[in-house]
Structure 1
């Protein structure tokens, strides 16, 4: 019968379906309607529409969840899982069909789904309830209107017409207020049930009087559970004694259970009392006042966690007081549940106990301790402890970030903030040393930075960002243009550790450092970029460095040669005032203006310190110095300590050019005029070797040292992010120049030998000038043909060369050298023979002897320091200086 009824129902539905689709007239198109009905019946009969397989649907959603997580869409997976669970909680047999329909309607959910769209599905927030405060704000009343007399005669209510009552309206029942204003208070009194009062008195076991001292009071497990929960919440109880002075909690031994062994219950109660003891100490610690904001935040975070813990205890009490379902009263079960629930807060209590003595010495020790404890909890897979400590850590970190944010956003420091690791050292320091002297990092014992250990990798960037803002303020470009439109990245538990319910796989230290670097970068890169761009464009840092190379380091050999020759010509002229700083400055500006331009050469000043006695050594050129007026922002990069090194290299180049200048004045024609063939050959050899030595030295200094080091410095400077990095690059650059140019203190013996070899060139020039003068005086007394030279010509020749033929000391006495020379038998670079008059031959032999002695010493020293210092340029210089070592010396 059921099958027949089902067939009849299907046939009727099929007929209705055919009529709704074809819209045929059944009377006129009977054959067409019958045929369509048969086709529809066969088609419907061939399908078995079974129910959707719910297990396949669940497997499909599980596959989607796994796919989302593999593609790093954990947020989408969590949102899908939460909503599937919410649908499954509804009671309906069509739930699998609903879920299957959603699966079939989905279109590439990984690419097209956005979690932000779920916010649109949330119902709008209901408006807040209307309050009297809002009413009075919109329509305030006036005090004068309240106390104004009312004229009851006007428009009295008695004059108003009373509305007519409907005939069928029932009169309202009279009230007691209308009948009589008196009210009976006994109507509010509820009768007391004496049995209930008796039960309450019996339940108060702590009021029971004992007849004997050793008598015990029996209590139930429910009473013990209630007392235990009160004790854990920090309240006074009878089952547990609390000592406020020693922060100790003990079990009262006069209460026993009638159904359990006392030793067993005592052990259980003692463990619960141990938990309460640690919690009580934590509660008492939060009540102590503190003046430091960091510790106040930590105390507030601990109090909040204690409040959450007390709320959990209240839920446990509710379960036993007003149970919704039958609950088994078991002190052992409560112990296990409380032990699991209290594990995070007990770990926090132990952490506070361990760090409490150090908080007065180190105000951020709690941040370091929490950071370490979070890492330990992650390694032990203690998710509840990890979440609790992480939440407290990030809450306390926000307070520590406030001075950091203020320093990195405004370049300002708090007043007497001892917890921040940056402080102002000298507020009156010059602008030229602002970056290096005004602010310093606060350090403690053993020069350790006074900051949390986990922040020390980023401390330098924090320090430099604030200094960059102070620098920009001094430049006058700090303002609205520095406000970054990029929002500040969040730095909390959800951002760092994610929203997953599982412990993150990556170490917490790495997760935090990555998030903190993003936070620092959002503030660091913006200010540093603006300052760097300003220094490169407005103050032409790179152009100044190239100018320094030009006039300090001989970057353009032809221009430097012109400048040096101009100075040497005035020196050799023997006129007074050749070292006048105004003349030398105009001379330098005129020569360098072709390469530097008039604006840059106006900043150039040349000075010369006058010496009482003229020096015959190239060391006398140390009196000539060059100064360049730098703007104060550039002086924070090119510091004053670097200028003496530039001056040393400038003097060294002048000394090399001086020796070469004097050697070139000894012409081949003058040597050819030497009568003695042996001395003539010796002169040729010495002139060649000395010129070769100066050329090798100049080429080494300008090409191998200056050019390569400057190129590396310019490349590194263009990539530098802040002034600190630029200054460090420049300091290393000048230190490298000083080291490779043989001007550092540890290379003093080699430098002394090189200067002595240059002095041999000066000496060789003086010897030949003296010999040429003597020859000229002997020849020009009488001119062939009977003519006598005029007196003026003889005076002019004598004035051109007034020096006698003698051998001065190669290196002057210690009074002319402020640093002094190193003593030693092997390193002695002074001429052993004292100065005095010598013949031309003795002078040449002495020069040759000293050259043969000094050059191998310098080469050996270069090879030695090259092996120790691993500098290939020194080895290369040594190779070039001994190119003729295999040749026999004449």
Structure 2
């Protein structure tokens, strides 16, 4: 055995004999000293060298480093294989193979080759590179925290560089850092969050814990606290035990035999004594004095709730009118009339009588929700116990009646406590707890909303105030017993019941009714079994509260009304806060994703996002219907079950009643705020930055009555009446909302050129630009007269563009932007060919005007379509007027003299048709379009919001559409007018056929066409003259499908136009041929047909003129003008 192999052996220059090792204790039994390190040479410790001391070393004594490294790493490989594979049998072949494989893998890197080392400069560059990369990636916090942490590490290395006891040597720290950097991953979100937290802790370090001082130790109780831990530990050493590290005496250093004495030491002597435990001194206990026993007996005598307690009253005494204590037992005995009842009464245990102040105390305890000797909680009710104590001066029935009344109040308040607890528990489940513990979710049948939480909190406030009132009364009773009250106190059950009624009236009963009706709570309630949405629940709660509030205020129930008003205002705070957030932030105009809630609107808020146009590039905002339908007042479909079991669906508004009068104002203001932000215009808060609490608003309003001096804060807040509540809200919102709307209106007029676009629409669709529109129509009518393709897309847009540009004067601005206008024909491809037979062919013409954003919210596609319908109707009238004006017979004396008498009939008919067309066109342009445009412009100048502009424009266009007889309710009159216009075209064809000359027509309006080449114009006019030499038999008459016979009533009955299915020229088969040559008979039929249609139109217009609508005066003008038809 080589003694040098022990790490704890002493390093001596002379080897010691083996015999000395057998008796010397190990170095662990006592500490080494400086003397033991240099032991003097003695006769025992010195041996002369011998040949055995100088043994020749063999080559086996020199082992190569690889073999020693193998022997050192093999156990580690075995441990690694056992932990990874789980094989514990080291003798198995698989285990040996795996160990050999692990050794071969580790040998090249750990045994054969020395590991590479880095210095601190490499680490400096690496850390600087990572910090620079973080800054390039805009992760400033990560870079700053990394540099600060590394700088702190270097400071620590420098301060502990000479510390030899450090667990990591300073020159090895770069290798450790290099290893950690190699294992590190790219920074994640958690890394960035920790970097922020690290910098926050650096900026705001936590205060260090103050050191423990003797003053603090002495201030505590003896032997208490963490600093006394282990002092009295039975496992530790006894106080009289000598320390194990005591210094050695001189005798121990002389001889080795002294070491054997340490080995023979009794272990029991070193072990702590279990019997010798410290016993703290006890104070001498003083014996109880007689005064203590007397006080104890008096206290026991007052504990009426103990079973063995008995009252001093004697229930066996006879009734005495002057002693109330004899009333109860006497009535009970008098009630037992028969002998059996008296025997049964004597067999019963004597009732337990208590004092009335004790009974009142028990009632107050029950009202605070705790069971006692009188009341117990059973079957969700606070009921009397099986054997409640009695009051000796009350009969059993009167006492039960009073206690049952108080028990109902206690039951109601206890139900409200349970409701509040359930709501708070569900609310706590939605909030992630710091300790990460899960809480059971209560089984509630209604969704959790902020309004419900505020309602529960308001009820909890009322309950806590009620409990404070009960505790105050109990305190007064105790003080009265100690004679600490200035005035005498009356304590009785009747007084308690009356005081409770005066203080709270029906407050808790009404609140319990609201909870039962709205939330269906408690679970046994049969009401509201269906599930409600968050918005419906919040609205129903506020409306129910507001309804009960109004009812009690009208009945002058001040106590209950004040309680309901406090609860109502507190419950309205979440909705009021949502209103402020909506007005301050406005609608969300960012690009929406499926995981985002636009505008962060709460589900219980009465404004909702409808999800129109959700997609890329924020197309929802550019949708023309986004302003109208993107955000709207929330409406839910509700199904009401009928008695027969069938359900009927209806739309239910979820706007609270007290906000209905300002709901649209709130909606429009929020949308205006979002639109202004979308246009890139900075917007001030307009009074919405400092949004007050609803309670503060009510308190600070000048309509509120000044609180009384003795009123507390919460009660004096709500002396405002219900009638003025709406006025308070309206006064607070009206001015800032109007400022926001006016700012948006100003932005539309000044930056978006609203006025110029309105003028352009009116000039085009309503034909206010007379010269340009007339020029354009002449070009189109020329194509129609030549029976050419007038509906071609390129022709219509090119012709319109040429006309607009030709009417421009140098230096003037275009009255319309050509890039915004597009004309197209969307009718049947063969229908436009019938333009010379019916004006219905023009109905396929469509005119579009692409207004820029955000004016698309005003001029929506359906609005532009109505404009297009008005344009087409005016075009049809002007087409009929145009073909009538083209009829002109050129001078031919011989033929003119021959046809002079016959032509009078045609000219008379032409005159009547022209009169109708001119009268109708004059009415529409003068008394409809011109009047409405002037009024609209006047109202437009006064508009203060975008919603008001949209409403004004929609009403303006609706009036024009109605007075042009383009609405469905005037379809019969409109069809009659179209029939007359078709007759104008057909009359022209008959006239040309009768004249038989290609020069029978002349375009009197042709001079309006202004082109550059006059000679070409004249030649084109000659070529475009239409000749009707073919027979009229070839003309395809209008099908009867174009008219609705059901809407054409019999003229003789005065209810509709003539029956066109049999008498109209459009459907008379005999008019298809010309062999009979009866042109005058056809003219006669046309005359009768036109006369019937005009009379029908006049009667319809007269009925409209006799109405009470705003359009009646305008229709009166047309009816008066049509009276000239009979002249």
Partner of 1:97: none
Q: Is 1:222 aligned to residue 396 of structure 2?
A: no
CA contact (8 A) 1:606 1:626 kept: yes
Partner of 1:297: 454
In 2 relative to 1, CA 224–686 (structure 1 residues): closer, same or farther, beyond 3 Å? same
In 2 relative to 1, CA 653–417 (structure 1 residues): closer, same or farther, beyond 3 Å? same
Partner of 1:122: none
How many residues end up aligned between the 2 structures? 698
Partner of 1:468: 672
Cα offsets for 1:25-69 (capped at 9, x unmatched): xxxxxxxxxxxxxxxxxxxxxxxxxxxxxxxxxxxxxxxxxxxxx
Cα offsets for 1:736-781 (capped at 9, x unmatched): 222221233343333333233333433444445456663879xxxx
In 2 relative to 1, CA 300–753 (structure 1 residues): closer, same or farther, beyond 3 Å? closer
Task: Name which of 603, 611, 615 aligns with 2:820.
Answer: 603
* Equivalent-residue separation in structure 1 for 2:677 and 2:777 (angstroms): 43
In 2 relative to 1, CA 138–880 (structure 1 residues): closer, same or farther, beyond 3 Å? closer
* Equivalent-residue separation in structure 2 for 1:726 and 1:544 (angstroms): 14
* Equivalent-residue separation in structure 1 for 2:1019 and 2:401 (angstroms): 125
CA contact (8 A) 2:839 2:978 kept: yes
C-alpha deviation, 1:297, in angstroms: 1.1
SS in 1 for 2:1126: coil
In 2 relative to 1, CA 272–742 (structure 1 residues): closer, same or farther, beyond 3 Å? closer
C-alpha deviation, 1:695, in angstroms: 1.4
C-alpha deviation, 1:705, in angstroms: 1.6
CA contact (8 A) 1:294 1:399 kept: yes
In 2 relative to 1, CA 605–482 (structure 1 residues): closer, same or farther, beyond 3 Å? farther
CA contact (8 A) 1:585 1:604 kept: no
TM-score, length-normalised on structure 2? Answer: 0.56
Partner of 1:615: 835
Cα offsets for 1:228-274 (capped at 9, x unmatched): 2111111221122332x322322564422344444443333333323
Partner of 1:481: 684
* Equivalent-residue separation in structure 1 for 2:604 and 2:791 (angstroms): 61
CA contact (8 A) 2:686 2:740 kept: no
**Which segment is superposed worse, 703-712 or 487-496?**
487-496
Q: Is 1:861 aligned to residue 1103 of structure 2?
A: no
* Equivalent-residue separation in structure 2 for 1:525 and 1:302 (angstroms): 37
Equivalences for residues 555-566 of structure 1 within 5 A: 555-566=768-779
Partner of 1:451: 655
Partner of 1:846: 1082
Task: Name which of 716, 723, 728 aligns with 2:946.
Answer: 723
* Equivalent-residue separation in structure 2 for 1:747 and 1:398 (angstroms): 51
C-alpha deviation, 1:187, in angstroms: 8.8
Task: Name which of 700, 705, 709 aligns with 1:498.
Answer: 705
* Equivalent-residue separation in structure 2 for 1:239 and 1:368 (angstroms): 39
Cα offsets for 1:463-519 (capped at 9, x unmatched): 222222333343333x44345478546632434643345999999442111012123
* Equivalent-residue separation in structure 1 for 2:286 and 2:839 (angstroms): 119
Task: Name which of 280, 289, 298 aligns with 1:199.
Answer: 298
CA contact (8 A) 2:412 2:509 kept: no
SS in 2 for 1:696: helix
CA contact (8 A) 2:669 2:737 kept: yes
Partner of 2:151: none
* Equivalent-residue separation in structure 2 for 1:383 and 1:738 (angstroms): 56
* Equivalent-residue separation in structure 2 for 1:351 and 1:262 (angstroms): 31
SS in 1 for 2:608: strand
CA contact (8 A) 2:786 2:1026 kept: no
TM-score, length-normalised on structure 1? Answer: 0.70
Cα offsets for 1:429-468 (capped at 9, x unmatched): 4432211232233223321202323322322222222222
Q: Is 1:390 aligned to residue 577 of structure 2?
A: no
List gaps (5 residues or longer) in structure 1: 1-136, 148-181, 778-792
C-alpha deviation, 1:206, in angstroms: 2.1
Task: Name which of 610, 634, 656 aligns with 1:425.
Answer: 610
* Equivalent-residue separation in structure 1 for 2:953 and 2:380 (angstroms): 62
In 2 relative to 1, CA 504–375 (structure 1 residues): closer, same or farther, beyond 3 Å? farther
Equivalences for residues 143-158 of structure 1 within 5 A: none
**Which segment is superposed worse, 559-568 or 800-809?**
800-809
SS in 2 for 1:420: coil
List gaps (5 residues or longer) in structure 2: 1-202, 214-279, 311-346, 427-447, 521-526, 588-597, 615-619, 639-649, 1001-1017, 1051-1057
**Which segment is superposed worse, 601-610 or 194-203?**
601-610
RMSD over aligned Cα atoms: 3.9
**Which segment is superposed worse, 523-532 or 668-677?**
668-677
C-alpha deviation, 1:397, in angstroms: 0.5
C-alpha deviation, 1:403, in angstroms: 2.3
Task: Name which of 725, 733, 737 aligns with 1:524.
Answer: 737
Task: Name which of 407, 421, 434 aligns with 1:273.
Answer: 407
C-alpha deviation, 1:667, in angstroms: 3.0
Equivalences for residues 808-823 of structure 1 within 5 A: 812-813=1038-1039
Partner of 1:313: 470
CA contact (8 A) 2:583 2:669 kept: yes
CA contact (8 A) 2:785 2:1024 kept: no
Equivalences for residues 556-705 of structure 1 within 5 A: 556-573=769-786, 579=792, 580-590=795-805, 593=808, 597=814, 600-608=817-825, 611-612=829-830, 613-616=833-836, 617-667=838-888, 669-670=890-891, 674=896, 675-705=898-928
**Which segment is superposed worse, 277-286 or 746-755?**
746-755
* Equivalent-residue separation in structure 2 for 1:833 and 1:774 (angstroms): 26
In 2 relative to 1, CA 615–264 (structure 1 residues): closer, same or farther, beyond 3 Å? closer
Equivalences for residues 73-222 of structure 1 within 5 A: 185=283, 193-209=292-308, 214-222=349-357
C-alpha deviation, 1:318, in angstroms: 1.3
SS in 2 for 1:207: coil
C-alpha deviation, 1:521, in angstroms: 2.0
Equivalences for residues 703-852 of structure 1 within 5 A: 703-770=926-993, 774=997, 800-804=1025-1029, 806-807=1031-1032, 812-813=1038-1039, 826-828=1058-1060, 829-834=1064-1069, 836=1072, 838=1074, 842-843=1078-1079, 846-852=1082-1088
Partner of 1:177: none
CA contact (8 A) 1:662 1:761 kept: yes
* Equivalent-residue separation in structure 2 for 1:634 and 1:811 (angstroms): 45
CA contact (8 A) 1:435 1:471 kept: no
In 2 relative to 1, CA 733–139 (structure 1 residues): closer, same or farther, beyond 3 Å? closer
